[in-house]
Structure 1
Amino acid sequence: MDILLTLILLLPLAGGVINACFGKRLPRPVPVFIACGSVIGSFLAALGSFTLATGDGYRLVLFTWLKSGHFQADVGLLFDPLAAIMTLMVTGVASLIHLYAAGYMEEDTDQVRFFTLLNLFVFAMLTIVLADNLLLLFLGWEGVGFCSYGLIGFWYRKTENADAGRKAFIVTRIGDLFFAVALLWLFALFGTISIEGINAQVAGLDMTTVTLLSLLLLVGACGKSAQLPLMSWLPDAMAGPTPVSALIHAATMVTAGVYLLCRMFPLVSLSPTAMAAIALVGIATALYAATCALAQNEIKRVLAYSTMSQVGYMFLAVGLGSVSAAMFHLITHAFFKALLFMAAGCVINLAGHENDIRRMGGMRQRSPLVFWLFIAGLLCLAGAPLTSGFFSKDLILATAFARGDIFHQGLYALGVMTALLTSFYCFRLAYLVFGGDYRGDELPHEPNGLMVWPLLPLALLGLGAGLLNLPHLFAGGSWLSAWLGREQDVLHLAIATEYLLIGTAVAVFVLGWLLAALRYRQYVQRPASLSGDFLLNGWRADDLFDLLLVRPFKKIGRFCSQGVEIGLIEGVLGGTVRGCNDLGMRLRGLGAGKVSLYLQGLVWGFVVIVGWFLLRALI
């Protein structure tokens, strides 16, 4: 079993290293086989290791990484119920995305570099999931940031793609700084970086310390998960290839922040202030991103803002104290959002590589299979009754409603409003992409068969994953809550209340559908309104950051460069050099060999000596 657990982590690393070193020398299909086979092997190893995760889980130390005095950092793996379910999801979805990418990137000249980065990204994400200490987790945390930079800016020859990669890297680094401070502070407090060791001792901390540590972890999580205020990188990250969007922005990197908060939940749950902050950040981001998705015209940007919104629901669940609800939505979202991104790649291919949904239309007739797969994902996202999105999202809303106080009722109301907007923009997308006649100019291209069939298991999982955690009304076994040891998260509401909440969820779904049908069933192009432009640009968040951060930074830099460095430092140094040079030139003239100069010097020297003796005589 130790070997299987080790292979989960090492197979993607080995695939990435082999392709990086030898991929260019191998025949073209071989690097793809290595990349796909390594991740599929990792999934099979995770499946074989699943029984180790029962109870308190299983810990395996591979070797000691760092040791100094009393400090020791092991490369240790913790395979407990939380890590096990996350590992299965990451490796399973990543396997399907790798197979999809084999068809999507078939003609790309940099195929080897792409699959190298994709394998290394999976390795880094699994390091986050399986790490038994915060330093190793932070290593994986930085690893996914580096790989995402390379994957988002993969087509770097276009300036906007390279800029998007740099933007993602820089913005997420801001959150990483806060996480690093929390890590160092925790080590200073407890003398250990073990996650289990820290969680076992946090009860002895004072409330102020707990709150500050939790808020530091929250900001770190916001960076990776694109939550307010560190959210602006995610829409631009759509510059990368579609498989990158499916992997990074559906199942892995953007959920790393949620996983961190769940992993450190014994700490963050001690502070009501921190829990309220997590919930507020989550619901604010969910509503913000849903409003932005309403006005997007590029198919992948709609899904990007949707991802941001759904991750906001996960943060809300953590802030409500329900780890199982957060993980439930994380898993179901990974299935249907990966499905949507991959299906969007097929649609883009059908539309002749067109991304603008205003220039699509009629895609249902061109590929009925892609249509039904895309609709399956949209139904899950919109919360159609009995889909996984319906059960997981509404479990979070029901948890907020069950708290009963005015604060949580407000969170519930905002969550319902976000669900309405979600339903609306989902069906807006459906009508614009698949309804009416084709509005584009390019001739359509049939997607590669390898791009289509990996979508089928994701569609089945997206539609049926709600069975993992059925609500009490459906006589469901809350298997996920029991597996995670979070039986306290299971809601036992009155039957009438459950019917009311389900009725509200269904009504919101239907209302969003009807509003979208009224507006977009017969699509007529309209001029963009001021609010539309405002939402299209993400509430002009980039302009705000430019005004508050970038411009002042540039001005300070210009002052330091031109005022301090050129004016002061170089001015003083330059003036001193020039003065010394002038003095040297004058002294040099004294040795020119002119007798008149020597006589003048003799006379003036005599005058000075006589003056000196007269002065002493007078004194």
Structure 2
Amino acid sequence: MITSSWLLVAFPALGALILLVGGRRTNAWGHLLGCATVIASFVYALAMFFASSFDQATDTTLYSWIPVEALQVDFGLRVDPLSMTFVLLITGVGSLIHIYSIGYMSDDEGRRRFFGYLNLFVASMLVLVLGNSFVTLYLGWEGVGLASYLLIGWYQDRPSAATAAKKAFLMNRVGDVGLAIAIFLMWKHIGSTGYAEVFAGIGDQSPAVITAIALLLLLGACGKSGQFPLQAWLPDAMEGPTPVSALIHAATMVTAGVYLIARAAPIYNLTPTGQLVVTIVGAFTLLLGAIIGCAYDDIKKVLAYSTVSQIGYMMLAVGLGPFGYALAITHLLTHGFFKAGLFLGAGSVMHGMNDEVDMRKFGGLYKKMPITFATFGLGYLAIIGFPFLSGFYSKDAIIEAAFGQEGWRGWVFGGAALLGAGITGFYMTRLVLLTFFGKQRWKEIRSTDGREFHPHESPPVMTGPMIVLAIGSVAAGFLFTQGDMLIEWLAPSVGALQESEHGVLPHALVPILTVGLSALGALIAWLLFGRRDTSVERPREVSAVVKAARNDLYGNAVNENLVARPGVWITRFSVYLDNRGVDGAVNGMAALLGGTSGRLRRMQTGFVRSYALSMLGGSFLLVVALLMVRFA
């Protein structure tokens, strides 16, 4: 079955082709086809998983893609434990999101096209994780970028959606440049872009080349996974429909960066500097996302910054090298369940509240939406690391690995991860309290455009996937870590997990501190928001810290002043230089020749006597010149 792995990509790709080219004839059943193709891919992935052995990677060449003299790039797929793990996550969670979308997008006139874009998204992500070379990965990488642009900007009548889509596209291009240059360096120094050849030859390169490739790959990963300094696009991506948010934040796009680092493990294992930079980026980003998440009232943006923070945990883990590759993938899988469930739960709340996203206008919804509350609540408990739920097993293992580092690294990285857990407990508890508990504030207000609120439970086609994801939020962590099953499964791809024998804190103490700090964060949130009524109006007088968090810790301002404005100035100067310099020189030369020709044309009178006089004058000047040379 492995030799037919191309079918995994072919099913959703065919669905996208039919839905996007078929036109209105597919409107009636397009959503069903979109779901069927992804489900078919998931079923085939399950069949491969149970029928095949994955002790080693299997490369399948489909055709010669780029045969240009010495540059020979085949379009091939690699099936190994790492790629199959991602395939099962993408198609499994993706199938649930597709089914959920049937209900969520039921009233949208472009539903058929929406499912076509979703299919394109899934197909591109499958190419990304199944490709057996960095060039094939780059093809899927760009396909995911295109699909995200189309889906984030789905509501084309909203300027904010168009701006968000453009922002995501441009910021991802910055990261993509890094990935492209890294591929160029591989070709220049190793002579190939295939995984097998690159990983076999990378050890013969100089430390500077290895580190350069590692850092450029990290730049690409930061763009796709919304990590510092390219994180600003990810919260704005909430302008798209909620199923898009769930797909981007749980199963596809943001996981691509973590996959890239894990796939390139043989490169990072040779560069301690590259590993350290990855770890620093992850530690900083997990705190940045958690802090900003505390200040937002938009339920989707709180979850978006939660994703920034949780992906930061994964980046921190892969930066630990053999101490964390498998732990990062474990958390990525559990995160896929509880974050998809949280986003779909947020979409269910919006569905029952006329698309309102301001948590201050919610309150007491657990009575009106019991299934949504129960499934969302399990996702909430999982993400804060409640004992024996999925996040407890996966996130706590990363924190323990961070504290397992020696010296200052253990204190800095472990401390950052532990502090992030406490902040996560705070902002997620705040979200749950404002949304589901307290006074039913929606009874007393109308939305800004006059809509009235009549909260109600979502239909079964939406609650069904939420229930399945809630079950995964509870059980996935235990199942994946039971007997180190997942860690041993991933060993052929990322290497065996190494455990630190030293570290700065005893291993047994870390889970206690993590649970305790998360509980403290939840308690503070309850004291601030659970025991008192929350104002519908957002308070204007706030501390400098809250103000900074509301402004994304000024990340957008930094990008605006350091990148966007200088770019505009350079563009304007280039335009001025082009108009006045290049165009001016060309136009000036044309004017000079035209003017000179016009003046010379006046001398062409047609009278013989005038020409004879000109010849006489010229002869006279020539004689004078010769005499001057002779007697000089």
Check whether TM > 0.5: yes
1:567 aligns with 2:580: yes
Q: How does 1:194-205 map to 2 (within 5 A)?
A: 194-205=194-205
Paired amino acid for 1:191: G
Contact in 1 for aligned 2:186/2:198 (Cα 8 Å): yes
1:452 aligns with 2:481: no
Post-superposition offset of 1:170: 1.1
1:136-176 per-residue CA deviation (whole Å, 9 max, x = no partner) reads 11111111011111111111222211111111111111111
Question: How far, CA to CA, are the matches of 2:545 and 2:153 in structure 1?
Answer: 30
1:77-122 per-residue CA deviation (whole Å, 9 max, x = no partner) reads 2111111121111110000000001111111111121111110110
Contact in 1 for aligned 2:34/2:119 (Cα 8 Å): yes
Aligned to 1:464: 475
CA gap 1:600/1:83 in 2 versus in 1, 3 angstroms: closer
Q: Give the secondary-structure state (helix, strand or coil) at the position aligned to 1:62.
A: strand
Aligned to 1:519: 528
Contact in 1 for aligned 2:375/2:466 (Cα 8 Å): yes
Contact in 2 for aligned 1:211/1:271 (Cα 8 Å): yes
Question: How far, CA to CA, are the matches of 1:205 and 1:610 in structure 2?
Answer: 76
1:176 aligns with 2:164: no
Contact in 1 for aligned 2:313/2:398 (Cα 8 Å): yes
TM-score (norm 1): 0.93
Aligned to 1:351: 353
Aligned to 1:534: 548
Aligned to 1:371: 373
1:274 aligns with 2:285: no
Paired amino acid for 1:467: F
1:503 aligns with 2:502: no
Contact in 2 for aligned 1:350/1:366 (Cα 8 Å): no
Question: How far, CA to CA, are the matches of 2:132 and 2:433 in structure 1?
Answer: 47
Aligned to 2:45: 46
Question: How far, CA to CA, are the matches of 1:592 and 1:70 in structure 2?
Answer: 66
1:480-519 per-residue CA deviation (whole Å, 9 max, x = no partner) reads 111112543457799x934311211111121011100011
Q: Give the secondary-structure state (helix, strand or coil) at the position aligned to 1:484.
A: helix
Post-superposition offset of 1:263: 0.8
TM-score (norm 2): 0.91
Contact in 2 for aligned 1:324/1:489 (Cα 8 Å): no
Contact in 2 for aligned 1:23/1:31 (Cα 8 Å): no
Contact in 1 for aligned 2:280/2:316 (Cα 8 Å): yes
Contact in 2 for aligned 1:251/1:334 (Cα 8 Å): yes
Contact in 2 for aligned 1:175/1:222 (Cα 8 Å): yes
Q: Give the secondary-structure state (helix, strand or coil) at the position aligned to 1:253.
A: coil
Aligned to 1:545: 559
1:482 aligns with 2:481: no
Q: Give the secondary-structure state (helix, strand or coil) at the position aligned to 2:506.
A: helix
1:230-275 per-residue CA deviation (whole Å, 9 max, x = no partner) reads 1111011111111110001111110101011111101101111111
Question: How far, CA to CA, are the matches of 1:176 and 1:398 in structure 2?
Answer: 32
Aligned to 1:360: 362
Paired amino acid for 2:510: L
Paired amino acid for 1:458: L
Paired amino acid for 1:481: I
Instruction: Tell me the percent identity.
Output: 37
Q: 2:334 aligns with which of 332, 335, 341?
A: 332
Question: How far, CA to CA, are the matches of 1:587 and 1:184 in structure 2?
Answer: 56
Q: Give the secondary-structure state (helix, strand or coil) at the position aligned to 1:453.
A: helix
Question: How far, CA to CA, are the matches of 2:502 and 2:474 in structure 1?
Answer: 25
Q: Structure 1 residues 576-585 or 244-253, which shifts more?
A: 576-585
Post-superposition offset of 1:590: 4.3
Paired amino acid for 1:452: T
Aligned to 1:443: 453
Q: How does 1:374-393 map to 2 (within 5 A)?
A: 374-393=376-395
Q: Give the secondary-structure state (helix, strand or coil) at the position aligned to 1:335.
A: helix
Aligned to 1:404: 406
Question: How far, CA to CA, are the matches of 2:620 and 2:332 in structure 1?
Answer: 97
Structure 1 unmatched runs, 5+: 471-475
Question: How far, CA to CA, are the matches of 2:43 and 2:93 in structure 1?
Answer: 12
Over aligned residue pairs, what C-alpha RMSD do you find? Answer: 2.2
Question: How far, CA to CA, are the matches of 1:23 and 1:555 in structure 2?
Answer: 44
Contact in 1 for aligned 2:3/2:60 (Cα 8 Å): no
Question: How far, CA to CA, are the matches of 2:373 and 2:176 in structure 1?
Answer: 40
Aligned to 1:473: none
CA gap 1:328/1:581 in 2 versus in 1, 3 angstroms: same
Question: How far, CA to CA, are the matches of 2:150 and 2:91 in structure 1?
Answer: 20
Q: Structure 1 residues 404-413 or 422-431, which shifts more?
A: 404-413
CA gap 1:82/1:578 in 2 versus in 1, 3 angstroms: closer
Question: How far, CA to CA, are the matches of 2:382 and 2:217 in structure 1?
Answer: 30
Question: How far, CA to CA, are the matches of 2:202 and 2:580 in structure 1?
Answer: 53
Post-superposition offset of 1:445: 4.7
Post-superposition offset of 1:422: 0.6
Aligned to 2:434: 432
1:258 aligns with 2:258: yes
Q: How does 1:72-471 map to 2 (within 5 A)?
A: 72-321=72-321, 322-440=324-442, 441=446, 442-446=452-456, 447-470=458-481
Post-superposition offset of 1:387: 1.0
Q: Structure 1 residues 162-171 or 194-203, which shifts more?
A: 194-203
Structure 2 unmatched runs, 5+: 447-451
Post-superposition offset of 1:23: 4.4
Question: How far, CA to CA, are the matches of 1:56 and 1:528 in structure 2?
Answer: 60
Q: Give the secondary-structure state (helix, strand or coil) at the position aligned to 1:48.
A: helix
Question: How far, CA to CA, are the matches of 1:57 and 1:588 in structure 2?
Answer: 79
Question: How far, CA to CA, are the matches of 2:541 and 2:374 in structure 1?
Answer: 30
Post-superposition offset of 1:57: 3.7
1:325-347 per-residue CA deviation (whole Å, 9 max, x = no partner) reads 00000000010000011100011
Contact in 1 for aligned 2:104/2:351 (Cα 8 Å): no
CA gap 1:425/1:602 in 2 versus in 1, 3 angstroms: same
Contact in 2 for aligned 1:62/1:76 (Cα 8 Å): yes
CA gap 1:528/1:104 in 2 versus in 1, 3 angstroms: farther
Contact in 1 for aligned 2:121/2:148 (Cα 8 Å): yes
Contact in 1 for aligned 2:369/2:455 (Cα 8 Å): no
Post-superposition offset of 1:437: 2.4
CA gap 1:132/1:605 in 2 versus in 1, 3 angstroms: closer
Q: Structure 1 residues 460-469 or 287-296, which shifts more?
A: 460-469
CA gap 1:498/1:577 in 2 versus in 1, 3 angstroms: closer
Paired amino acid for 1:125: M
Contact in 2 for aligned 1:323/1:489 (Cα 8 Å): no
Aligned to 2:34: 35
Paired amino acid for 2:228: L
Paired amino acid for 1:142: E
